[in-house]
Structure 1
Amino acid sequence: MTIEQRIRALLPQLTPGEKRAARALLAAYPIAALGTIAELTARADASAPTILRLTGKLGFDGYSHFQRAVREEVQEKMQSPLSLMDSAPRVPTAKSGFFGAFIADITAALQRTSRLLDNDVLEGAIATLADPGKRIYTLGGRSSHVLAKHLVFHLHQLRPNVQEITAGSVPVYHQAADMGRSSVVVAFDFRRYERQTIDFCQQAAREGARIILVTDPWLSPIAELAQWVLPVEVDVPSPFDSSLAAMAVVEAMLAGTLARLGPAARERMERLEQGAGIDKVIGGAENAEAEMGTFAAPRKPKQRRQSR
């Protein structure tokens, strides 16, 4: 768990003074953790010994040890693909069995994601996506927009009022103005967090929208606003963070939403297929021969013999 996650998990076990210190840290994390202990005592209205007891309960040998760990986490958050490539070992060097080794690393990443995720939080997010009274919006960044598009494409087949927030004729920030209590934003934001995504979610939250956040183990700043936070593992032997675990969570949300909607989702899918003519696309084996005939190359016309 990240330090921020450890603070949250420890909250129920803390004394009132320690809780004030913990909440002060969380309210402005990580900035509050990088200041002096005197600055934190002023923020938290708690004594220095109280803060030292809190850092001790978090498993650190003193406040400086705590700060060093926070700084290391912040540095890891901000790493670029180039800096990740320079840090060893990120890329396997084996010439044989490369794919098998890579699959083993991906499998391990999925297993770590299953430990990171809180099942109750995931179930809550799925219940919200299945609520017909909610309007669902998705938003991603430079690479994570692929996840947002994937969720919208399939979720729209299960229920109405689903759309992706994209830059078009209406600027991204303006699209938050019409949101309200019935709006739900599914945001995808990973390390090297993107200002546009963070600002949009802040504005949407002010308008009353609720937020489902899919992020990395270090948690996007949007986590402070979100009602449902779904951390996934992104670290694999590559200079690029992996989206595979995040995609698995998206697929789980889709499967869970389908299960909750039941016959209503099936009826909508049937309507969409009839309207789009999808039933005419190449499909079952029983229609394959007839369907393939549509694409058969035209026969060449027979050439007439010229009479001598």
Structure 2
Amino acid sequence: MDQEHLTQMIKATYPSLSPGQKKAAEFLIEHPDEAVLLTAFQLGRKVGISETTVIRLAYALGFSGYSQMQDLVRKDWLSGKQRVLGEGNPSSMNTDKSQHLFAKVIDKEKKILQQLLGQINENEIWKAVDALIQADKIYIGGFGSSYAAGYWLYYTLKQLRENVFLSSPNGFLPEDICDLTENSTVLIFSFPRYRRETLKLATYARDQGSSTIAITDRQFSPIGQVATVTLTTDEHMDSGHHSIASVISLLELIIAGFQEREHENITKRQKKLEVLYANQELFLE
């Protein structure tokens, strides 16, 4: 029985578990490194339930007792640690390429994010943040595969401010951009092979006097050349593919800056939203 199997067992029985048992089960999955060191009593105290509830969880999952459940958590956690150590050894990675495929992908993403850390220009990020704060209207252009990142930014910004709009994956409508002014901000994603719509949108926004923010792979990409602010992700990285992780990480920096400077307005807006969410019973938790 491995950790993945344990997770599946918990999922299969989760609806029938008591609230206290659910707390213990979630702790086992999310913090196995701590769980392997705790007695049933200590685990119960950690999550705010009784020792009996922890033991009952073990029975509910088919174990003979807490010790058996903890033994398996301990073995799986140790084997996981050994796998991680093995992945860091180049000779080990060459032993079985298919076995370490996912580790290679993660290692590549780590290098891309490290590159991003070294190349970010804080002044340019703050310029982008200020442009988003001061805009009367924000229009986000994300076409093709970039739409996923565009939607993430759109949904996040909608929690923070008003008048945020998003293109479709296939392009933009003239009706959506005809009201752009010198007080508006347009943020556009553009990566190889550089869709024509991105340059058309950037050029139109520039002609209207709008601030334009480019999220792209290099400073002098087609859109980077016309944007007011150009922010790059995995520039100069020979990764063979474009990393959405680096894009989201860059957007996280922008959102963090936005939240830092607009804390009071964001708090007011989110209080209003929470009332609406409650009235609509939108969330389960």
| TM class, shorter-length | 0.5 to 0.7
Residue identity in the other structure for 1:104: D
The structure whose residues are more often helix, as a share, is 2
Rounded to whole Å, the distance in 2 between the matches of 1:110 and 1:143 is 20
How far 1:199 sits from its partner (Å)? 0.7
* Secondary structure in 2 matching 1:130: helix
Instruction: Point out which structure has higher relative CO (alpha carbons under 8 A, 6+ apart).
Output: 1
Rounded to whole Å, the distance in 2 between the matches of 1:172 and 1:96 is 46
CA contact (8 A) 1:177 1:207 kept: no
How far 1:167 sits from its partner (Å)? 7.4
Q: Which has the larger radius of gyration?
A: 1
Residue identity in the other structure for 2:164: V
Number of residue pairs matched by the alignment: 189
Quote the residue 1:119 is aligned against: 122
Change (3 A) 1:219 1:94: farther
Rounded to whole Å, the distance in 2 between the matches of 1:202 and 1:97 is 45
Quote the residue 1:177 is aligned against: 178
* Secondary structure in 1 matching 2:284: coil
Task: Specify which of 150, 153, 160 is matched with residue 152 of structure 2.
Answer: 150
> Which sections of structure 1, spanning at least 5 residues, go unmatched?
1-91, 284-308
Residue identity in the other structure for 1:115: G
Rounded to whole Å, the distance in 1 between the matches of 2:265 and 2:178 is 30
Alpha-carbon deviations, 1:125-145, whole Å to 9, x = none?
1122222x5311100121001
Alignment of 1:190-209 (within 5 A): 190-209=191-210
How far 1:116 sits from its partner (Å)? 2.5
How far 1:102 sits from its partner (Å)? 2.0
* Secondary structure in 2 matching 1:224: coil
Residue identity in the other structure for 1:129: L
Quote the residue 1:23 is aligned against: none
How far 1:266 sits from its partner (Å)? 1.3
CA contact (8 A) 1:186 1:213 kept: yes
Alpha-carbon deviations, 1:64-114, whole Å to 9, x = none?
xxxxxxxxxxxxxxxxxxxxxxxxxxxx97122332232121111011112
Identity %: 24
Alignment of 1:103-252 (within 5 A): 103-131=106-134, 133-166=135-168, 172-217=173-218, 219-233=220-234, 240-252=241-253
* Secondary structure in 2 matching 1:221: coil
Quote the residue 1:274 is aligned against: 275
Alpha-carbon deviations, 1:164-186, whole Å to 9, x = none?
12379x96244332211111001
Rounded to whole Å, the distance in 2 between the matches of 1:95 and 1:171 is 42
* Secondary structure in 1 matching 2:230: strand
Alignment of 1:22-61 (within 5 A): none
Change (3 A) 1:207 1:163: same
Select between 134-143 and 270-279 the one with higher mean Cα deviation. 270-279
Quote the residue 2:256 is aligned against: 255
How far 1:233 sits from its partner (Å)? 0.7
* Secondary structure in 1 matching 2:234: coil
Change (3 A) 1:191 1:219: farther
* Secondary structure in 2 matching 1:137: strand
Change (3 A) 1:237 1:225: closer
Normalising by structure 2, we get a TM-score of 0.60
How far 1:265 sits from its partner (Å)? 0.2
Does 2:104 correspond to 1:101? yes
Rounded to whole Å, the distance in 1 between the matches of 2:260 and 2:281 is 23
Rounded to whole Å, the distance in 2 between the matches of 1:95 and 1:165 is 39
Rounded to whole Å, the distance in 2 between the matches of 1:126 and 1:208 is 18
* Secondary structure in 2 matching 1:180: coil
Change (3 A) 1:220 1:175: farther
Rounded to whole Å, the distance in 2 between the matches of 1:260 and 1:115 is 24
Rounded to whole Å, the distance in 2 between the matches of 1:198 and 1:254 is 24
Rounded to whole Å, the distance in 2 between the matches of 1:176 and 1:249 is 25
